[in-house]
Structure 1
Amino acid sequence: MKDWLQSYIAAQHRAVDSVPLDAVAKATETVRTAWENDRQIFAIGNGGSAANASHFATDLGKGSSDAVGKRFRVQSLTDNLAWITALGNDYSYDDIFLRQLQNFARSGDVLITASVSGSSPNLVKAFTWAKENGLHTIAMVGAKRGKLADIAGQVIVVDDTHYGRVEDVHMHIFHMICYAFMEKTA
């Protein structure tokens, strides 16, 4: 067991070390610009990435807002279970983020996601709509990159395909974005 744990941690270190810091800095600047211009920031994801999107919106909306004194207009579109299930049931699960964006998003807003595969149909559909409607788009993906890497305006690739490791690193990136404001470096 100890050998496996050491191997897992070593692989996790490699995944963290693969983070393209210039891309994270650019994403942080996109979030800053949205904040300065009173634009909305939407976070989406599936499974563990949905939880990460929710965590990001909480940290940016509370911790970062408290630190900078001006509120971030941020929400995770993964959090309204009634709306998600109504959209999934009445239309398609592929539309659960797209249809929420159609209600809330405007040109100049920001859409950010974390997706290990980069090819989840509901994320691809939301990003396609966002691109067509003038939103700034940021996709954090795993080594497979997927369709999101071709659609998103900004892409942050974690060079690993292990779901747990990549999801952990995506949360590191979400934290880096938030803490850049909390620690007043952004």
Structure 2
Amino acid sequence: MSENNKLPTAFFSDYASRLQGVLASADWSGVAQLAEDMRDCWANGRQVFFCGNGGSAGNAIHLANDYLYGIAKRTGGGMRVLSLAANAAVITCLANDVGYDSIYSEQLAVQGQKGDLLIVLSGSGNSPNILKALEQARAMGVRSCAILGYSGGKAKAMADLPIHFDVNDMQISEDLQVIVGHMIMQWLCQNKPEAR
């Protein structure tokens, strides 16, 4: 059997090994800083925004759910969080009227305020709408974080806090977005701000 036709169990074992390798060699200091930034937003009622494209958009919606309710599991106790990828009507309106590269920056321009936090999720770090959202955040005084794969792309230099995993695999890059989100979620559950 050729290398390209591995048995499923061997293929899955290889995938798991590649993911484990990235996790084992990762520098977690950026994730620790993001956790503190999110805790600060939670404590002070500031907004956290997520965005991404494709699978990363799905992850942005998933993580917004986790932080809205999952970290507190009581009415009104969660974080003020919004996935900019969640509203199909808004996204299609903006894509049609001003261009797909503006679907997140236009929302942030209305919803965001100085001191809020934008978290962009991107495999390549080069999506025009992600870069434009980072530019908008900078212009408004919104702190930005980018969770990135591959080389980190242009977003690595543009984000206030880049979290870069040097992996040339889109699925593992997207796995890592959720892993980081879940790590921080569990830490926040155990380290709630006093007011929460």
* Pairwise same-fold verdict (TM > 0.5): yes
- 2:3: which partner in 1? none
In the alignment, which residue of structure 2 is the partner of 1:173? Answer: 180
Name the structure 2 match of 1:99: 106
Count of residue correspondences:
186
Q: Does 1:89 align with 2:78?
A: no
- The counterpart of 1:46, out of the listed 50, 53, 70, is 53
Spell out the pairing of 1:53-64 with structure 2 (5 A cutoff). Answer: 53-64=60-71
Larger radius of gyration: 2
Q: Report the Cα distance in structure 2 between the residues aligned to 1:165 and 1:125, rounded to whole angstroms.
A: 25
Question: How has the CA–CA distance of structure 1 residues 12 and 48 changed in structure 2, closer, same or farther, with 3 Å as cutoff?
Answer: same
The alignment's TM-score, normalised by the length of structure 2, stands at 0.90
Alignment partners' CA distance in 2, 1:25 and 1:8: 26
Alignment partner, residue 147 of structure 1: 154
Trace 1:1-186 onto structure 2 (pairs within 5 A): 1=7, 2-66=9-73, 70-184=77-191
Q: Distance in 1 between matches of 2:43 and 2:25?
A: 30
The alpha-carbon deviation at position 185 of structure 1 amounts to: 7.3
CA–CA separation in structure 2 for the residues paired with 1:134 and 1:102: 11
- Give the whole-Å Cα distance in 1 for the aligned partners of 2:45 and 2:13: 45
* Root-mean-square deviation over aligned CA pairs: 1.7
Regions of 4+ moved over 3 Å: 183-186
More displaced 10-residue stretch of structure 1: 22-31 or 173-182: 173-182
Q: Deviations over 1:37-58 (max 9, x none)?
A: 1110000000111111111110
**Cα distance between partner residues in 2 of 1:55 and 1:44:** 11
Q: Structure 2 regions of 5+ residues with no counterpart?
A: 1-6
Q: Secondary structure at the match of 2:121?
A: strand
By relative contact order (CA 8 Å, sep 6+), the higher-ranking structure is 1
Gaps of 5+ in 1: none
- String of CA shifts for 1:133-177, please: whole Å, max 9, x gaps: 101101000131111111100011112010001100111001111
- Residue type of the partner of 2:88? L
Cα offsets for 1:74-99 (capped at 9, x unmatched): 01011000110000011100000011
User: Counterpart of 1:20 in 2: which secondary structure?
Assistant: coil
**What letter matches 2:63 in structure 1?**
F
Identical-residue share of aligned pairs (%): 36
User: Which residue type is aligned with residue 181 of structure 1?
Assistant: L
- Give TM-score, length-normalised by structure 1: 0.94
CA distance in 2, matches of 1:8, 1:131: 37
Is the contact made by 1:34 and 1:41 (CA closer than 8 Å) also made in structure 2? yes
Deviation at 1:16, TM superposition (A): 2.0
8 A contact 1:18–1:158 mirrored in 2: no
Instruction: Return the letter of the residue paired with 1:84.
Output: I
